[in-house]
Every structure is written in structure tokens, then in C-alpha cells.
Amino acid sequence: MSSFICFWNHRRLNQYYTGGESLEDWKVKISVLWLIAEGTILAYIFLRSAEIGAVEQAGPDVFLLFAMVSLIPLIMAFLSLTLKDSINRWANIIVGIVFVVIPLVVLSEAVAKSSAWAILNTLSGVVVAALIVWYAWKSKQKA
């Protein structure tokens, strides 16, 4: 227990003397944002399936696509904590931009159908992905 307190105090002192976040804090923030992005994807899949009754109508190809899309944020959350800094930044920037652009296409469909839950869910996904890109870009400028 005393080693944990010593480690925690050392980290806090390091943040105090370096003037802010440690370099690893941006990785944790991005990892958590990827987990939130996963939540928005799963919520969209669930609500969309319930809305159109797609569970009975969807074939195995659709479920495979859903599984692949929902695995990407989980993999990125893990990689955000394990990759080296420069590769980590670029991977998060590139995949984050993809996760900003694709939901904007879905957003146009949601606006056309006037589906309030889809608009809210898609906008929250875009905001989370934009924050991922922002934190990854901002961490590049700090290093």
C-alpha cells in the first residue's frame, strides 16, 4: 500500500513540476473516448435493429459487418495504450477522421427520416471522434 501511495505522490509531483498532464494522460483520455465511441455504435445498432425489426430480416453478412465495425473502437482503445507515441498519434488521427466522416453520411439519412434518437446518437459519435482527433493532434504539439 505504501508503494502505491509513493507512486501516486511521485506522479502528482511530476505533474506539478512539469506544469500539467503527463505524456501518458492523453493516451488514457483517447482510450476512454474510444470506449465511449463503442457505446454509441452499439446503441445505434440496437436502436436501429429495434426500430425496423432488422433482427429477423438481417442476414449473416449484416451481423458480420456490425461485429467488424464494433470491434474497431475496442482495438483502438487497446492500441492507444500500447503503441509508441508517433504511431499512436497518427493511428488515432486517421481512424478518428474516418469515424467523423462516416457518421456524417448516416446523419444525412437520420435527418431525412426525422429520427431524433439517430440524430442525437450520430452527433454524439461525431463529437467523440472529433475529440479523439483533437487530443491526438494536441499531444503531437506537446511532445
pLDDT digits over 57-88, tens only? 666 777 788 888 889 999 999 999 999 988 99
Residue 53 has pLDDT above 60, yes or no: yes
Domain presence at residue 33: yes
Q: Quick one: CA torsion of 31, 24, 139, 98, rounded to 10 degrees?
A: -20
Distances 132 to 56, 107, 115, 142 between C-alpha atoms, Å: 35, 19, 26, 16
Percentage of the chain with pLDDT > 90? Answer: 39
Q: Which amino acid is at 133?
A: V
Return the C-alpha cell found at 8. 501516486
What is the Cα–Cα distance from 30 to 56, expressed in whole angstroms? Answer: 36
Nearest to 28 by CA among 71, 111, 92: 92
Q: pLDDT tier at 39 (50, 70, 90 boundaries)?
A: very high
Domain presence at residue 135: yes
What would the mean pLDDT of 83-100 be, rounded to a whole number? 93
Domain presence at residue 20: no
CB atoms within 10 A of CB 100: 17
Return the C-alpha cell found at 32. 476512454
Residues 7-31: tens digit of each pLDDT: 555 555 555 555 555 557 889 999 9
Cα 24 versus chain centre, distance: 17
In total, how many domains does the chain have? 1
Domain presence at residue 73: yes
What is the domain range of residue 137? 26-142
What is the Cα–Cα distance from 71 to 106, expressed in whole angstroms? Answer: 19
What is the Cα–Cα distance from 104 to 115, expressed in whole angstroms? Answer: 14
Domain presence at residue 41: yes
Residue 2 has pLDDT above 60, yes or no: no
Domain presence at residue 35: yes
Q: What pLDDT, on a 0 to 100 scale, did the predictor assign at position 25?
A: 86
